Amino acid sequence: MRAFDRFFFGPVAAARPALLMRVVYLLVAFDAWSNLLARAPMYGAGNFNVAHFGWLDVVQPMPSPALYVGNTILLGLLSGVLALTLGSRLLRCLAALLATYSWAMSQIDVYQHHVFLSLLFGVFVFFPTRDELAPYASGSARKPRTLAAWGYVLMCCTVANLYLWTALAKLDASWRAGHVLEQLSIFVHLTEPVRALLAGSGLGERGAWTAVTLGIIATELLIAVAYLAAVHRDTGVGRGTTVWASLACATAIGLHLGIEMVGFRIGWFSYYMIALAVVVFAPARALALVESLLRAAGERLSALWRDRLDRVTSPSSRSLWALALSVPPVALALGMGRSLEFPGGGAVALFVALGSTAALFWSALRGRLAAAPGHALAILLAVAGCWTAIAHSDVRTDYYRLVADDLRHRGELHGVTQASRNKFSGPLPRPRPRSE
């Protein structure tokens, strides 16, 4: 058991799990708002659905665009709040359930990295809470504080397992020969630098694809080993540790930047993996500096009202303070709901408004009124981020184009005309030529 204990309960810089959660939750929030919402029209089309699990088809209602929109917006908002506050384990559990249900409700979503994000969210439940991390936040950037964080170690093992099985899946003869990668390249628009690199390799077209595939397999295996070794990244801070960690970080970043250069359409997967590599392999001093700055900003904000709110003792006064603090996020949420132009947008905005008010009252009644302004500010910023991401992305245009295209394929031309009149729909999709 000693080896087991050393592996799972060794020292980990306190800033690593904290920053890892902040970065991943923030990416998930903006991914949900600016990308995933566009897929909503496919859910429940033709009153037909097949969930990823048979029992889910029995217990859940028929998925609909409104249901998917509501789940996705709530997932983004909760992830945004968790990125700012780190939250309680209960909130992290709720985020993990929303993330899992977003893909499990229908086999329309077959992106494997969405399952991977559910695993990450599940592991985050066992990361240290904000209160547990607080005693370690006093460490200086020159000598970061460490703690035992078996949840973080489990996360490293999960990522290593992902890279390992991704590499093993490519040991098939078709993969090793480069055939699969060559065929996949037909469906993407290779950038000119990539084409020039393949043409000038001197190995011929087939040989170049084979070499690229074998190189990817070796790289993924090396990254898997590096993530397992990163469990003990903070045990020693010698030059050797810094060198191998820097090489591992550069290798992981290079792999996923290469995937983006080639043009494979896998959502934001590469950005998630780059963020993980940076936090896991970066020097603890740099991470501690960033986390200390974030915490210092939060402490300065809370100091503005902490002394005054700590003197509020009567339940009625606490309730009035909670009501006053809930006004800005509630007003912004309701305003966002009126302008979203998504099915279910108004309902989810009302749910957010009621949930925010209930959460703030709960904090006040539990005697934690001093923390309520911080919670209200986090909710306010999350709602503002959601509204901004939707307003300044093409997600609504993509949504209504997909609505029109789906109706056209089903021959509902009147519905196509109605969908095309929406101000976000863009040009009407061209009808495809019918075969005689």
Query: Is 16 part of a structural domain of the chain?
Result: yes
Residue 322 near residue 369, CB atoms below 8 Å = yes
Query: Is 22 part of a structural domain of the chain?
Result: yes
Residue 69 near residue 342, CB atoms below 8 Å = yes
Closest CA to 21 of 98, 81, 100, 90: 81
Closest CA to 321 of 334, 335, 306, 331: 306
Query: Is 391 part of a structural domain of the chain?
Result: no
Map residue 334 onto helix, strand or coil: helix
Query: Is 225 part of a structural domain of the chain?
Result: yes
pTM of the full structure: 0.86
Give residue 429's pLDDT.
45
Query: Is 298 part of a structural domain of the chain?
Result: no
Instruction: Give the pairing of strands 11-13 and 146-148.
Output: antiparallel
Q: What is the DSSP letter of 342?
A: S
Q: Give the Cα separation of 430 and 359 in Å (integer).
A: 48
Q: Give the Cα separation of 328 and 356 in Å (integer).
A: 10
The number of folded domains in the chain is 1
Q: Give the Cα separation of 319 and 401 in Å (integer).
A: 46
Q: Which amino acid is at 324?
A: A
Query: Is 399 part of a structural domain of the chain?
Result: no
Give residue 153's pLDDT.
92
Q: Using CB atoms within 10 A of its CB, is residue 65 exposed (0-12), middle (13-18) or buried (19+)?
A: buried
- What is the extent of the structural domain holding 150? 2-283
Reading the chain (436 residues) residue by residue, the pLDDT tens digits are 587 777 888 888 888 999 999 999 999 999 999 989 888 888 888 788 888 888 988 898 999 889 999 999 999 999 999 999 888 899 999 999 999 999 999 988 888 888 999 999 999 999 988 878 776 665 555 667 888 888 999 999 999 999 999 888 888 777 777 667 666 665 455 545 555 666 666 666 567 777 778 888 899 999 999 999 888 877 765 566 778 888 888 999 998 888 777 666 778 888 999 999 999 998 888 888 888 888 877 777 776 666 666 666 666 777 777 778 788 888 888 888 888 888 888 888 888 888 888 887 777 777 676 777 788 888 999 999 999 999 888 888 888 888 877 777 666 655 555 555 555 555 544 444 433 3
Residue 12 near residue 65, CB atoms below 8 Å = no
Q: Give the Cα separation of 98 and 29 in Å (integer).
A: 12
Query: Is 176 part of a structural domain of the chain?
Result: yes
Provide the b/e sequence for 186-212 (b: ≥16 CB within 10 Å).
eeeeeeeebeeebeeeeeeeeebbbeb
Give residue 433's pLDDT.
40
Closest CA to 124 of 76, 171, 83, 185: 83
Closest CA to 69 of 337, 248, 305: 337
Query: Is 120 part of a structural domain of the chain?
Result: yes
What contacts 224, CB < 8 A, 6 or more positions away?
Answer: 160, 161, 162, 163, 164, 167
